[in-house]
A = this chain, B = another copy of it.
Amino acid sequence: MPPCLYDVLGLGNAIVDVISRADDDFLAAQGLNKGAMMLIDEARAEELYKAMGPAAIVSGGSAANTIIGAASLGCSAAFIGKVKADELGAVFAHDIRAAKVKFSTAFSPDGAASARCLVIVTPDGQRTMNTFLGACQSLTEADVDEDIVKHSGIVYLEGYLWDPPAAKAAFVKASKIARAAGRKVALSLSDSFCVDRYRDEFIGLIRSGAVNILFANESELHSLYQTADFDTAVAQLRGENILSAITRSEQGSIVVTRDEVLATPAFPVDEVVDTTGAGDLFAAGFLAGLSKGKDLGTCARLGSLAAAEIIQHIGARPQTDLAQLAGQNGLKL
């Protein structure tokens, strides 16, 4: 096996979040489905932005958030994703590199603008996302640097990559290289509507052995197995030959393998300000634990801790040194 230069490599849509607060009436007036991620085109992005209140602009992207979180927990990390050579693209690249993550994907010189996600945060802390994929549509197999993939212990892929057509090929290529190099491949199901769009393909990835580790929340799991019953879904999951971590908001998480179901409570928080990135950061903590050889219970606790940090402020990138926070909570990595 080639030496491991990166503990974790993420492959995902490179997105900058534009975050604004609004009430439920705004969601209704704009026809937005609370808590979900909706794909929008550029014209709709402009229209919605105009209707939104003052906004904070913070780098995001599901897998990118996870990788940043893992880096903050002390992992060596890399990311592959596509931005354009424009102002938001420069912001994305700055922020991920400033977090000490290797990011060397070529910028698109022309074509669609860098992706943005218009995030509406309601007073209950719930986030509703509207993504204009833009330059992410230009991610292709050619952007998957074989050398980086081979030298990464875990390759983490987001289900959202199924949305831009050429990105799926990049996903498949990365997964193949990783498996051939004896690496682990992790998949996040991203969003229940995303699962609706690509259910058969995601199940195919799990059953073909293309994926070893699965991250999902309850509604994504329900959507995957098309059942409203949690226990039924978990029983199905136990039948797959993978390691799964299922997040359950304030009920914490369960880790599911063929042999066991391990429940871990959520980490207590003072106030939920913005849930954007909660799942991403759970994955960050879990993957950081795995890459450092921790037991599954510790991995889940690290996930809960990182998720708790992210939901207590606006934006899906940590504002605290997570390694230090973990140490303060008896979870030294």
Contact = CB atoms under 8 A, between A and B. Distances in A.
Given A54-B317, A68-B54, A315-B56, A49 B87 contact: no
Interface string A84-104: 001110010011101100000
A50 B314 CA distance: 23
A112 to B, nearest CB: 14
Interface string A47-88: 001101111111100000000100000000000000000111
Contacts of A319: 21, 314
Contacts of A53: 98-99
A57 B54 contact: no
A99 B53 CA distance: 7
Contacts of A99: 53-54
A86 B90 CA distance: 14
Nearest to A49: B94
Contacts of A91: 55, 57
Nearest to A50: B94
Contacts of A54: 59, 68, 94-96, 98-99, 317
Contact of A58 (B50, B56, B94, B96): B56
A5 to B, nearest CB: 22
Contacts of A55: 91, 94-95, 98
Nearest to A58: B56
A68 B55 CA distance: 13
Most chain-B CB neighbours within 10 Å: which of A49, A68, A88, A91? Answer: A91
Contacts of A95: 54-55
Contacts of A98: 20, 52-55
A86 B113 CA distance: 13
A123 B194 CA distance: 40
A58 B59 contact: no
Contacts of A317: 54
A59 B55 CA distance: 8
Nearest to A321: B21
Contacts of A313: 314
Contacts of A88: 87
A255 B163 CA distance: 59
Contact of A86 (B52, B58, B68, B87): B87
Nearest to A54: B95
Contacts of A315: 56
A54 B55 CA distance: 17
Given A21-B319, A53-B98, A55-B94, 12 more contacts: A50-B94, A54-B59, A54-B68, A54-B94, A54-B96, A54-B99, A54-B317, A55-B91, A56-B57, A57-B57, A87-B87, A87-B88
